[in-house]
Amino acid sequence: MLTFIGLGLFDEHDISLKGLEAVREADLVYAEFYTSCLMGTSLEKMEKLYGKKVCLLSREDVEQNPEWLIEAKDRNICFLTGGDTMVSTTHVDLRLRAQQLGIETRLIHGASIASAVSGLTGLQNYGFGKPASIPHPYESRRGTRVISETPYDIIKQNIKMGLHTLVFLDIDNEKGYMTVNTALELLLEIEEKRGGKLMYSTIAVGIARAGSEKPDVKADYAEKLKAFDFGKPLHILVIPGKLHFLEAEALVKLAGGPIGLMED
């Protein structure tokens, strides 16, 4: 049996009771934290609460050589991830591989950043369109700095349809955790390159440390928001589309957005 368990958003206490019971009954416990991670805890704290040794897997262990899957044929294995399980296509692929090996699987869900964002900002979940991801810029073979313009295009298309965009920010072993500030700077850089006015005329919402006791949630125009200090990671960005009057009120009262939003 292979049990996929979502650990929630911030620390070791976010795991569900069902998930905790499954971990404590497991023969082996594996985890990956490269797709997402719990910033309010450590592997040692998790092991203390769970009463189990947790083996941390690398990207290669999960995506290229998941030889450890074989152990789930005759042993009870748990696979832990941040947030909700199966949100990442990597985990769906892993489940399909297990199925091909004749391994029974089950899912134990955890809190997701997608639903947390709606709760923290007041933006309704049915108003979101296709999500986007902003990767760190990279250097081409010619030595030039390359910025992906795909997230800008997704945001633009969603706004055209009146939809909000959830923007995931890159986690890189070398470059670290992307901040809301860096993400906005990159989007504004693309805007300047294209000669547009999209990011200068729309509201952006930054969220830091969702799931913690004191998350930062701030709404403002992108040019102003990029200077706001969101503090420690993890950060995530939302670009709202057309706002219902209750969403506008929520952004003003819950996220400190400009009062003019309630007058539009």
Evaluate if residue 264 carries a pLDDT over 70. no
For residues 72 and 102, what is the distance between their CA atoms, to the nearest angstrom?
10
> Could you report the per-residue pLDDT of 23-76, keeping only the tens digit for each?
999 999 999 998 888 999 999 999 999 999 999 999 899 999 899 999 999 999
To which H or E segment does residue 127 belong?
none
For residues 237 and 158, what is the distance between their CA atoms, to the nearest angstrom?
14
To which H or E segment does residue 237 belong?
strand 235-239
Q: How confident is the model at residue 12 (pLDDT cuts 50, 70, 90)?
A: very high
Strands (E), 111-226: 132-134, 138-139, 145-146, 165-169, 171-172, 176-177, 203-208, 216-221
> What does pTM read for this prediction?
0.90
239 to 57, 170, 174, 195: CA distances (angstroms)? 33, 16, 27, 19
Please report the domains of the chain, with CATH numbers, ordered by start residue: 2-111 (3.40.1010.10), 114-263 (3.30.950.10)
Residues near 213 by Cβ (< 8 Å), separated by ≥ 6?
none
